[in-house]
Structure 1
Amino acid sequence: MINTKSALEAASDASKSAKQETKSPYVFLFVVLVFAAIATWIIPAGSFDREMRDGISFVISGSLHPVAQNGALPLEVFTAIATGLQKSAPIIFLILFTGGALAVLERTGAIHQALNGIANSTRLNDFLIVAMFGLIFGALGTTGVVVNAVVAFVPIGLLVAKSLGLNPIFGVSLVYLTCASGFNVALTNPVTTGLTQRLAHLPLFSGFGLRGITSALFILACIVFLTLYVRACRKNGERRPEVSEVTGQGEKATARHWVILAFASLCLGAFIYGAMTLKWGEVEMTAMFVFMAMVAGMIGRLSASDIANSFLGGCSRIVSGALIVGMARAISIVLENGHILDPIVGFLADVLAPLHPAMAALGMYVSAALMHFAISSGSGESALLIPIYVPIGDMIGLTRQVVVHAVLFGEGIVNCINPTSGVLMGVLAVAGIPFGKWVKFVAPLIAVWMVICVVVLIVGVEIKWGPF
C-alpha cells in the first residue's frame, strides 16, 4: 500500500518549496491596491445611476456623471483591507470550512484506499485506468473535493504509471491533469464558481446545465488526450510489465470507506438540490460542510478530538487562499470610495461597445487568462475583476452568467501552465518534471480546452445564458 503519510509530507514539502520560489499574489495585490489609491487622486471621480430589478442593482447606461473627488489617504489603504475582510466574511468562512471538511475526509483514509484499489488492480487495461482516473478525479475536481490536496495523490499516479511501464508525465497527468479538467469548469466548487457567482449577485451554482456540458467536455477531452498519449507511448516501446512489482497487494477500501464516500456524495448532491430549488447560499453550504465532517468522521471511527483537530488543520492549510478574497476586495473598496470605479467601467464599456457582445465576452475571457499569470488565486482574481466586468456587461448587453464564466474559463485555462501556481509547481517537483517539458506536453490539450471555452461563451451570448 502507498504510504499516505510520507506522500502527504513529500507533497507538503514540495508545495512549500514551490511557493517560496514563486511570488506571493498578496504582494501583487498590495501593489495594485497602492496604485488604486493613487489613482483616486488622478482619475476624475464619477458615478452611474442605478436601478433595482428583482432586488439586483443594475447600472443605467449613459448615466455617468461627475461627483466630488475623494482621494484615498494612506491610512484608508489599510482600513480598506480590514473592510474587505469583513465584507467577505461569509465567503472566507465557507472557503475555510471547505478545507476543514475535506481534511476530515482525507483523515478517514476513504479516498486514498479507494484509489489504492484501482492502483493495485492488474485486470484493468490502459483505457479503463485512464477513464476511471479521469472520471474520479474529474468529479473530485469539479465539486471542489480535491484541489490543492491533489499534490498528495501524485505518488499514486506515479506508482500506477510505473506499474504500467509508462513515464512520470503520464503518472502526474493521471491525477493532476484529470483533476484540473474538472476543477477548471467547476460545477459546484464554492471557492471558484460559488464565489464568482455570488460576487455577481447570481444564484449559487445557477447555469448548471451549460456549465455541466462544458465540464463533461473538458473531462472527456482529457481522457481522450491521455488515451492517445498512452497509445503513442506503446508504439514507442513502452510496454506494460507482465507482473506489477510496484503496487503489490496492499490494503483495499473497506465497506466503511465506501459508506463515507457515498455519504459525502449524498451531502454534495443534497446541497446542489437545495441551491437550485430552495435558494440555499453560503450559510447553508458552510453548515453542510460542518455536518459532513462530523458524520464522516464518526463513520470513520475518528475520535471527537481527531475530527476537531483534522477540521481545524484543514482550515489552517487554506487560510492564505481564503484571506486573499478580502485583499482583492480591498481594491474595489478603494476604487468605489474614491468614486473612480464607475469612470473606469464607463471607459472600458465605451471601448467594448462597438464590438459584438460575443467578441466582448471573449475579450474578458482572454484578459482574465492573462491576469491569472499574475494572480494565481482564482478567488482573488474573481474578487478583483467581477466588480469591474459585471457593470460593463450590464451596459453592453452581456448576461452576468456569461461574464462570470468568461472569468472562470480564463482562470481555468491557465491553471495547468501557470508558473506562479504553487500547486502545479509542487506537483512537478514531486515528479521531477521540468516546467518547460510539462508545458510542451500539455499544450495540445490546453488548445482544445480553449476552443471549447470559446464555443461555449459564444453559445452563452446567443442564448442569453441566465438567469440574468
Structure 2
Amino acid sequence: MINIKSASEGVSTASTSSKQEIKSPYVFLFIILLIAAAATWIIPAGVFDREMRDGISFVVNGSLHAVPQNGVHPLGVFTAIASGLQSSAPIIFLILFTGGALAVLESTGAIHQALNGIARSTKLNDYVVVAIFGLIFGVLGTTGVVVNAVVAFVPIGLLVARSLGLNPFFGVSLVYLTCASGFNVALTNPVTTGLTQRLAQLPLFSGFGLRGITSALFILACIAFLMIYMRKCRKNGEKRPELTDSIAADEKATTRHWLILAFASGTLVTFIYGAMTMKWGELEMTAMFVFMAIVAGMIGKLSASEIANSFLGGCSRIVSGALIVGMARAISIVLDNGHILDPIVGHLADLLAPLHPAMAAIGMYLSAALMHFAISSGSGESALLIPIYVPIGDMIGLTRQVVVHAVLFGEGIVNCINPTSGVLMGVLAVAGIPFGKWVKFVAPLIAVWMVICVVVLIVGVEMKWGPF
C-alpha cells in the first residue's frame, strides 16, 4: 500500500529546514510596510479624482492634484495591519475554507485511490500514462483542488517513473509540473484568480474563455515536454522494466470513491455556472466549500468528528497563506492613508504612457514575475500589486482583465523555479533533486510558457479583454 500521508510527513523535516533558510514573506512585506510608512513623510501627497461607471470606481486621467501631507505614524503602521486583515476578511475566510474542504476530500482517500489505480495499470501505453496524469493534475491544479498538497502525491509520481524505467525528474514532473501547469493559469482557483479579480473589482472568474485557452495551452505544453523528454530517455537506454507490476498493490478505487470525485466535480461546476450566470462571489463559494466538505465526508463514511477535525486541520495548514493577504493589503492602506499611492501611480503611468498598451502589459507581467521571487505567496503579491497596477491600466488604456492576468501570468511562470517556494523545495527534497539541476531541466518549458503568456497578453490587449 502506498502510504502517502507518511511519505508527506517524512519530508516535513527536509522541507522545514529548507524554509528556515529562506526569509519569511511576512518579514519581507513588513519591511516594505515600514518603507511605505516612511515614504508618506517624504513623497509629496496627492490624489486623483475618481468617477463611478456601472458601480466601478475609475481614475480620472490627468486629475492628480496636491493635498496636505499626511505622514503615517508608527501606530498607524500596526492599525493598517489590522485594517488590512479586516478588509480582506471575506477573501481570507474563503482561502481557509478552501483548505478545509480539500482536506476532507483527501481524508476520504478518493483522490489517492484513483491515482493509484492508474499507477498500477500494466495495460496503458507510456504516452497514455503521461497524457492521463497531465490532464488529471492539470485539472486539479487549475481548479485549485490540489496546490500545496501536491507534495503528498509526489511518491506516486516517483513510483510510476520507476515502473516505466525512468528517472526521478520524470516522476516529479508527472505530478508536480503537470499540477503547476494548471495552477499557473488557474481557471477557478479562489486563492489566485478569484482573489486577484476581486481586488480589481472584476466579476469572479470572468474572462473564462481566453483564460481557458491559455490554461489548456499550458497543460498541453507540459504534456508535450514530458513526452519529448521520455522519448529522449528511451533513446538513451532507459527501458521499461519487464516486471511492470512492481508498483505496490493498494485497494482499488471503489464506487464510493468515484462518487465522491463526481460530487466534488459537480459542486465546482455548479459554482462556476453560478458565478457566470448569477454573479456568485466569495460568500457563495465559501458556503459551497463547506457544503462540499460535509457531503463528501458523509459519502466517504467519515464521522462528524472526523469531518470537523479534517476541515479544521486543512484550515490550519493554510493560515499563513491566508493571513498574508491582510499583510500585503496593509501596505496599500498605508500608501493610501498617506495620500502617496496616487502620485506613485501617476509617475509610473507617465513612464508607461509612451509605450504601446501591449508593451505596458508585458512590462507589468515581467515585473510581477521578478517580484514573485521575493514574495512567494501569489495572494500576497496580488494584494500588493493590483491596487497599484489597476489605476495605471485605467490611465493608459489597459482593461482590468488584462492587468489582472499580467500579474497572474507573472506569478505563474516563476512558481516552478522559485527557491523561496516551500512547496517546490519540499517536492525536490522528496525526490532528492538538486535545485540547480531542476532549473536547468525545466528551463525549456518555462521559456515556452513565457511565450504563451506574452502572446495571450497581446491578444488580450487587442481584443479589449473584458468585461472591462
Under a length normalisation based on structure 2, what TM-score does the superposition of the two structures give? 0.99
Does the 8 Å CA contact 2:372/2:414 hold for their aligned counterparts? yes
Residues 420-441 of structure 1: CA deviation (Å, up to 9, x unaligned) = 0000000000100000000000
Match of residue 27 from structure 2: 27
Mapped contact 2:157–2:174 kept (Cα < 8 A): yes
Quote the residue 1:385 is aligned against. 385
For residue 103 of structure 1, what is the aligned residue in structure 2?
A: 103
* CA distance in 1 between partners of 2:46 and 2:127 (Å): 59
Whole-angstrom distance in 1 between the partners of 2:382 and 2:16: 24
The answer to whether the Cα contact below 8 Å between 2:202 and 2:401 also exists between their aligned partners in 1 is: yes
| Counterpart code for 1:7 | A
Task: Provide runs of 4+ in structure 1 moved above 4 Å.
Answer: none
Q: 1:455-466 counterparts in 2 under 5 A?
A: 455-466=455-466
Deviations 1:64-92 (A, max 9, x none): 00001000101111111011000000000
Q: Which residue of 1 aligns with 2:145?
A: 145
Q: Is the contact made by 2:120 and 2:245 (CA closer than 8 Å) also made in structure 1?
A: no
Q: Deviations over 1:234-292 (max 9, x none)?
A: 00000000113531332110000000000000000000000000000000000000000
Q: Does 1:220 align with 2:226?
A: no
SS in 2 for 1:416: helix
Residue 47 of structure 1 deviates from its aligned partner by 0.2
State the shift of 1:130 in Å. 0.5
Q: Secondary structure at the match of 2:205?
A: coil
Q: How does 1:315-464 map to 2 (within 5 A)?
A: 315-464=315-464
In 2, Cα distance between equivalents of 1:260 and 1:14: 33
Q: How far apart in 1 are the matches of 2:281 and 2:12?
A: 32
Q: How much does 1:11 deviate? A: 4.1
Query: CA offset at residue 193 of structure 1?
Result: 0.1
1:37 alignment partner, SS class = helix
Q: Which amino acid aligns with 2:308?
A: A
What is the CA–CA distance in structure 2 between the aligned matches of 1:467 and 1:246, rounded to whole Å?
52
Determine if the alignment matches structure 1 residue 126 to structure 2 residue 126.
yes
Alignment of 1:279-318 (within 5 A): 279-318=279-318
Matched residue SS, 1:124: coil
Deviation for aligned residue 1:7: 1.7
**Paired residues of 1:14 and 1:427 also in contact (CA < 8 A):** no
Letter in 2 for 1:194: G
Q: How far does the alpha carbon of each residue in 1:177-227 deviate from its partner, in whole angstroms, 9 at most, with x for none?
A: 000000000000000000000000000000000000000000000000000
Task: State the distance in 2 between where 1:280 and 1:129 align.
Answer: 37
Distance 1:258 1:15 in 2: 32
Amino acid corresponding to residue 43 of structure 1 in structure 2: I
Distance in 2 (CA, whole Å) between partners of 1:78 and 1:282 is 27
Q: Distance in 2 between matches of 1:224 and 1:336?
A: 46
Matches within 5 A, 1:6-17: 6-17=6-17
Report the Cα offset of residue 15 of structure 1. Answer: 3.1
CA offsets 1:336-382 (integer angstroms, 9 cap, x no match): 00000000000000000000000000000000000000000000000
Give the Cα separation in 2 of the matches to 1:3 and 1:244: 20
Distance 2:217 2:318 in 1: 29
Query: Are 1:201 and 2:178 an aligned pair?
Result: no
**What CA distance in whole angstroms lies between the structure 2 residues aligned with 1:371 and 1:394?**
22
Instruction: Look up the equivalent residue of 1:250 and give its one-letter code.
Output: D
Aligned length: 468
Distance in 2 separating the partners of 1:251 and 1:17: 34
- Structure 1 residue runs of 5 or longer lacking an equivalent are none
Match of 1:18 in 2: 18
Distance 2:16 2:148 in 1: 12
Amino acid at match of 1:326: G
> Aligned partners of 1:304 and 1:28: how far apart in 2?
40
Query: By how many angstroms is 1:16 displaced?
Result: 2.4
1:62 aligns with 2:73: no
The SS at the match of 2:57 is: strand
Q: Residue type of the partner of 1:424?
A: L
Distance between the aligned counterparts of 2:453 and 2:129, measured in 1?
27
Aligned AA for 1:394? D
Residue 239 of structure 1 corresponds to which residue in structure 2? Answer: 239
Whole-Å separation in 2 of the counterparts to 1:430 and 1:371: 27
TM-score (norm 1): 0.99
Q: Which amino acid aligns with 1:439?
A: V
Percent identity of paired positions between Structure 1 and Structure 2: 86
Q: CA deviation at 1:9?
A: 1.1
Task: Report the Cα offset of residue 3 of structure 1.
Answer: 1.1
Please give the alpha-carbon distance, in whole angstroms, between the structure 1 residues aligned to 2:21 and 2:174. 25
For residues 121 and 11 of structure 1, the distance between their equivalents in structure 2, rounded to whole angstroms, comes to 27
In 2, the alpha carbon distance for the partners of 1:7 and 1:337 equals 48
Q: Which residue of 2 aligns with 1:92?
A: 92
Match of 2:73 in 1: 73
Secondary structure of residue in 2 paired with 1:181: helix
Shift of 1:19: 1.8
In structure 2, distance between residues paired with 1:13 and 1:155:
16
- Deviations for 1:294-327, whole angstroms, at most 9, x for unmatched residues? 0000000000000000000000000000000000
Q: Distance in 2 between matches of 1:72 and 1:421?
A: 32
Letter in 1 for 2:75: L
